[in-house]
Amino acid sequence: MRLIRNKNVKVLVVATIVAGSFVLPSFVQAQSIFQEPHNNFRPNTIHIVNGSFEMPQISSRFYPYNSGSWNYIPAMNELTGGASPSNTSSATNALGNQSGGGTGSSASLSYVDGWNAVPSSTVTHIIPRFANYIEVQRAGANSNFPSTAADGQQYIELDADQPSYVYQTMQTTPGSRLYYSFNLRNRGGSGRVKVYVKGSDASRGNATQDIETHSSHWEHYEGVYTVPEGQYRTDIGFESMSEETAARGNLLDHVEVRTGAYLEVNKSSSVLGEEVLGGTIYTYTLHIENFGQTDADQLIVTDQLDGDVDFIGNAKKDGVDFAGVSYDEEHKKVLFHLSGDTIGNVDANHHSMDLSYQVRVKDTATEGEIKSQASIDYHDANQDSSARGIFYSGVDIVHIGRRPAVAQGSIRVQWNQLMPTLVNSGLDVQLYRNGEIYGWPVHIDAMTQWEYHWNNLVDENNTTSVWTVRLLNSVENYQLDIENIRPREWVIRANFSNPGSNTPDRTVDDVHSQERVKVLYSLTNPEDQNIEGRILHYKIRVKNDTSQTARGIWIRDVMPLYTHFDAVDTQGEYGVIEGREHATWFVDRLLPGEEKEFWVDILQDFCCPEIQVNQVNYELTGNENRPYVNDPVGPRNVAERF
C-alpha cells in the first residue's frame, strides 16, 4: 500500500498480484502396476498339406498298376533318398504352411504331397523297395475297401507292403496351442496306431496317443499339444503298431491341425505425437485381433489408467455406442464386459474388434507422462477351461505439456479525500514484468475510484517474477508533492507453485515459448499507401518452425491512426478498444511445421494525407482458451514484416 499526500488531498493506491494456485495431484504410481508384456510370439498359421490324401489321384501309371483302386506311391522323402525333404517345391509347401491340397495336377504329381514315410518300429526286416512309400486307396473301388472315405474319396493304409510311420513336418511357434484331429479305422478285425506330435528332431519315444482301431466305421479323434520353448519344427505322425494281417493294416484320413486363439491388443490415443494440458479430452482406442486359427470367447478386456486422467465414457464397440463398460475409480481400471462376444479366427472374415472411450486430463496434472496399458484375457472357443490366454499391450504414453505459471493482479486507486476543485479525468497505469512493459496501458476512469484487474498473467519461464504497476500520469489539476512521494512503483513477487519447463527432461530450452512461432505480415499493395480512400490489403502469416505443438496463438492488428477497419477473413474477429478498431485472430493449436495465413483490409481516411506504419502484435498463451476479443491487455510481441 502506498499513501500519496499533499496539503489537502490524499490518494490511496493499492496493488496486488496473486500467484495462481496449483495443487499437485495424488499421482497413482501406475508404473508399478503395469505389466512387462511377456507375450508369446504370434503363432505361425498352419494348413496341413494334402490332409485327406486326395493328391495324387489314383491312376494306373503307378507301380504296380492296379487300375485305379489302390497304389504304392512314393512319399516325399523318397525323392531325397530316404531323408525328410527340405528343398523340393512340395516340401516348401508343407513347411511354409501354405493352404491348398497340392502343388500340381494329378497328372504331374508322382508322390504323396506333404507326407513322409519310414518303416514302423515294429518292422524287423525292412523291404527296401517300399520303405518310403505310402499305400493310397480309393473308397469303394475294391470290395475289400470301405465304401466311403472320412473326407473326399481317398485315404491311406499304414502298410505299404510293411507297417509304416507316416508323418508331416509343420513350422510352429513356441508357446502355440495346436489342435489336431484325424480319422482312423481298420480293414478288418482290429489294430493299433500310435499318434505322435513332437519336435522334428526328437525321437518317437512316448506316443501322444495310443489308439485301438476298429473295422466297422471311421472314428474321429482330437487332441491338443503345446509347442515347447525353442521348438520351431513339429511333426504329426501315425505309426502302425499291429494289424489284422500283413496285408490288412490301419486306415488314416482327414488329418487337420490348427493353432489356438491368439489375441493381440494394440492401444493408441487420438493425441499421438501431441502434448496435452489439464482439461484436454481425448480418445483411447483398443484394436483387438485374433491371429490364431481358433475362435476366441469369454473375453475380458481391462485398461489400466494413469492417475492424471479421469474416465469420461462415450464407449464404442466397432464404432457403435456400447453400454457394457464400467469403471473402477479406486484402482483406475476400465472394464469392458464382453463375455457373450466371440472374435473369429484368422481364417475367418471377421477376426478383429475395436473398442474406444474418452478420458479427460485432470486440471491438476503437471508436466510429465500419462501412462496406460490394456490387456485381454480370452478362451479358445469350444475347448476346456484351461485353454486360456492373456495378452498385454505396450504401455501407451501421452505427454503432458508444460503449463505456464499464471498469476492474477489488480490495482485500485482511490481518493481518501476529495476536494471540490478536483477534476476527475482518470489515470493511466502500465503493468511491467521484471522491469519490461507487459501488455497495453490501461486507462482507469471513475468519479472517486479507479480499479483494474489483470487475469491469467503468464510466466513462460516458470520462475519467480517481479510484477510492477506504474502510474503514467497524475490527476488533472492536481500536483503531487514530489518531496514526500517515493517512485510510483509497486513491486509484488509471485512464487509459482508449478515449476517446469517446455522440454521433456524438465530443463529450460533456449527457445522461449513466445519464440516458438513466427508471425509475419506484409502489405500486398504498397503502391496504394498514403493515398486517401484506398484500401490496404494486409496478409498475416503464422508458422511453427519447431518440433513442438504451439497452443493458443493470439494475434491482434490495431488499426493505425487515420484509418478505419474495412474487412477481415472468416477466421478473424472485429473489435474496438477505447475507440481504436482492431482485427483479432486466435489459433488454438499449430502443429510442428504447420503454417496459417490471414488477411485484413484497412481503409485510409480522406482526411489525412499519410498513414502511420501498421503494427501487428501476437502472443503465445499456452492454452486453447480463446481470449476476450476486446481485452485491453492484448498480445505484446511485435510481428515482423516479410
Written as one letter, the residue type at 586 is: F
Half-sphere exposure of 374 (CA within 13 A, CB side): 25
Same domain, 470 and 383: no
Query: Residue 175 and residue 215: Cα distance in Å, rounded?
Result: 37
* In-domain check, residue 54: no
Say how many domains are in the chain: 4
Check whether the bond before 119 is cis (ω within 30° of 0). no
**φ and ψ of 154, to 5 deg:** -125, 160
What integer pLDDT is reported at residue 47 of this predicted model? 95
* In-domain check, residue 93: yes
Which residues does residue 518 pair with via DSSP β-bridges, in sequence order? 543
The secondary structure of residue 16, as a DSSP letter, is: E
* In-domain check, residue 55: no
Please tell me whether residue 270 adopts helix, strand or coil conformation: coil
pTM to 2 decimal places: 0.58
What integer pLDDT is reported at residue 67 of this predicted model? 58
Same domain, 408 and 424: yes
Query: Residue 66 and residue 142: Cα distance in Å, rounded?
Result: 11
Domain extent, residue 83, equals 70-259
Same domain, 343 and 442: no
Same domain, 89 and 177: yes
Closest residue by Cα to residue 202 from 241, 180, 172: 172
Beta strands in 75-124 (DSSP E): 116-119
Same domain, 301 and 377: yes
Q: What is the mean pLDDT of each run of 10 residues along the chain (642 residues)?
A: 29 35 26 55 93 85 61 84 40 32 42 91 72 89 88 91 91 94 86 92 82 86 94 94 69 96 94 87 95 94 94 94 93 93 88 94 87 93 87 90 61 50 56 72 58 55 57 43 32 30 33 58 83 88 82 88 87 87 90 91 76 77 79 83 77
Instruction: Decide: residue 392, CB within 10 A, 0-12 exposed, 13-18 middle, 19+ buried.
Output: buried
Same domain, 106 and 221: yes
What integer pLDDT is reported at residue 474 of this predicted model? 47
Same domain, 163 and 92: yes
Same domain, 225 and 212: yes
Query: Residue 20 and residue 458: Cα distance in Å, rounded?
Result: 10
Q: Cell for 210? A: 495310443
Same domain, 220 and 80: yes
* In-domain check, residue 174: yes
* In-domain check, residue 520: yes
CATH code of the domain covering residue 453: 2.60.40
Question: In Å, what is the CA distance from 486 to each residue of 13, 17, 240?
Answer: 13, 20, 112
* In-domain check, residue 63: no
Same domain, 223 and 277: no
* In-domain check, residue 50: no
Same domain, 425 and 534: no
Closest residue by Cα to residue 300 from 333, 271, 335, 350: 335
